[in-house]
Chains A and B, each alone.
Chain A
């Protein structure tokens, strides 16, 4: 019999009962909730006259729909206030731990889970948010769910699921100067398309992945949903264990040793078989940027938007619609195009390493006058750490403005909207039409690329600034 993949190892351990060959009752170890996709689920269980089955396994935060300025004041927008208050009431009535606005642990749901040590290898984790895949960086089966499923987990701590197909994406080799994990994932999506991994759970493997820090791994798993994958994960190793050790909710003492033995058993067996396996070379990856309206529409920053004759005729209609929205022409180069906004933040690139990389790049330089920049830490703890390390001072000296933690312009539910027709280079994960505000034109890139563009005011290859060795990332 062939060996098992890490995905199957975790999956099998969580099957409560099989319903038929492909479907079963699946146990959830950790459930994260936030204000936007949970109210209807709580209303649902209330209507049934039941309470949350395992409140200690759910953790709540307010992140999607909160202001990023003056968080100490009452939320100005009436509907947002109602949603945040509804979350507080639901958590209180059901005994759920809430890291609400102004709590020192508040932040974007996928930033706080790892930073508090809640996310641990081998777990099954769900949240009513598609970027739950972020937690896969720790070797977990973590995926986004809809509100009906949030209700199921609240009611029973379980879901009814079918086993996904398995894909392994191997990236081997050494990354070039100025190229980082955001570029890896944008590159893979550009190669396999925004639907290329639909129906699969993905394991990311290979020497380039192994050499990444935990935060960089989170960026990759975060965007696995952007290639259509149900979730993405990376086998846990010493980097993972070192990251978790000592965190607030990490196992301690004897418990730690016991867990460690289990965690070490998780990686895919050498003879495990995947339904699909892909290989990429790290050396082929440039700093990436997107030019269209889905994350698969990306190229190396020195490249060009594809010309029509490079595309399948059946794709022309959607492609041209996207070009019209972006105000670009097929076949154009991207370097030198004007940019209006920079957004640094989100669960993709709003962690401390991202702020460190961005400020190391900015240090001693000035923001271009045509750029409005919003820098939004992923959590209160990231904000506090950035302050402690003097990063905020560096950014302010260079003309940048810091906001308070939250999802902010990643989905533009609050006031942080890019105005119609303006171009934004964003370290977030989605460049869909209107994602950052109605009519907003988004280009996705890494924090370093965003930094280079913030300095010049136009699309720029960050490598031209990277002569000094200490800036190599």
Chain B
């Protein structure tokens, strides 16, 4: 799947101040019966978002019109658990382009990057300050600059660098995907198999 290019983003944020948000919460297993990638946004955080009768739970942040934006700010250890890429598809389909957390589960991180969703890992202090800022002003903007690998809380001016591997950064900036790269290496892979497998 070719991914959308990502350079810079300025947006307000949706705060989800819960730690250890696992992929079973992001996309519950009963929605994994699909054989296509489309439409998972409607199921995002389904059991927190809707009651068993399908009515929106007003206390859940996605149902609160105060909070909007393409940046999800979450508690630590976001995306733990199941490897289901459906979790990344759901976040992207819903409209998120960035997730900010003080740390991400490994498989989720690769799944996000493979779908053009940027995981921005920052210090716990930066995240808790950001939660405070959003609480004071839900419209507060945050700027994410991939080229310079920085995230800035535009309300307070505080800024932090984040890490991303050089290869993945280049893919995100240019909208490249790994499969094209791997397919271009078929000769080298064949050679490797002849010599080493």
Using a CB–CB distance below 8 Å, which chain A residues touch chain B?
13, 16-17, 19-20, 22-23, 25, 27, 29, 36-37, 39-40, 43-44, 48, 50, 53, 64-65, 77, 79-80, 82-83, 86, 128-130, 143-149, 151-152, 155-160, 162, 164, 194-195, 198-199, 225, 228, 230, 293-294, 296, 314-315, 317-318, 321, 411-413, 420, 430, 432-435, 438-439
Contacts and interface: CB of A to CB of B under 8 A. Distances in A.
A438 B178 contact: no
Contact of B32 (A36, A130, A155, A433): A36
A143 B103 CA distance: 19
Interface stretch (B63-71, B82-90, B150-158): B82-90
Given A27-B189, A43-B36, A157-B189, A228 B28 contact: no
Interface stretch (B4-12, B17-25, B141-149): B17-25
B167 A20 contact: yes
Nearest to A21: B166
B181 A195 contact: no
Contacts of B36: 39-40, 43
24 contacts: A16-B189, A17-B192, A39-B34, A39-B35, A40-B36, A48-B183, A82-B35, A148-B85, A152-B178, A155-B183, A156-B182, A156-B189, A158-B182, A198-B103, A228-B77, A294-B80, A314-B124, A315-B19, A412-B30, A413-B32, A433-B47, A434-B24, A435-B29, A438-B47
Interface of B: 1, 17-20, 22, 24-25, 28-30, 32-37, 47, 52, 75-77, 80-86, 88, 103-107, 110-111, 114-115, 124, 128, 165-168, 177-179, 181-183, 185-186, 188-189, 192-193, 196-197
Nearest to A36: B32
A151 B179 contact: yes
Given A17-B185, A22-B165, A195-B80, A438 B52 contact: yes
B111 A146 contact: yes
B52 A420 contact: yes
A334 B99 CA distance: 37
B80 A194 contact: yes
A25 B28 CA distance: 32
A16 B185 contact: yes
Given A19-B167, A434-B28, 13 more contacts: A25-B185, A65-B33, A129-B82, A146-B83, A148-B111, A148-B114, A148-B179, A155-B183, A156-B179, A318-B18, A412-B30, A434-B47, A438-B47
Nearest to B181: A160
B84 A430 contact: no
B97 to A, nearest CB: 17
Nearest to A439: B52
A195 B182 contact: no
A19 B22 CA distance: 31
B127 to A, nearest CB: 10
Nearest to B35: A39
A146 B166 contact: no
Contacts of A145: 83, 107, 110
B35 A86 contact: yes
A160 B167 contact: yes
Nearest to A315: B19
A389 B1 CA distance: 49
Contacts of A20: 165-167
A248 to B, nearest CB: 21
Contact of A198 (B34, B52, B77, B84): B77
A77 to B, nearest CB: 8
Contacts of B106: 164, 198-199, 228, 230
The 8 closest A-B pairs by CB, nearest first: A146-B85, A79-B33, A146-B111, A195-B77, A39-B35, A148-B114, A156-B182, A144-B83
A304 B114 CA distance: 42
Nearest to A42: B35
B179 A155 contact: yes
A47 B138 CA distance: 42
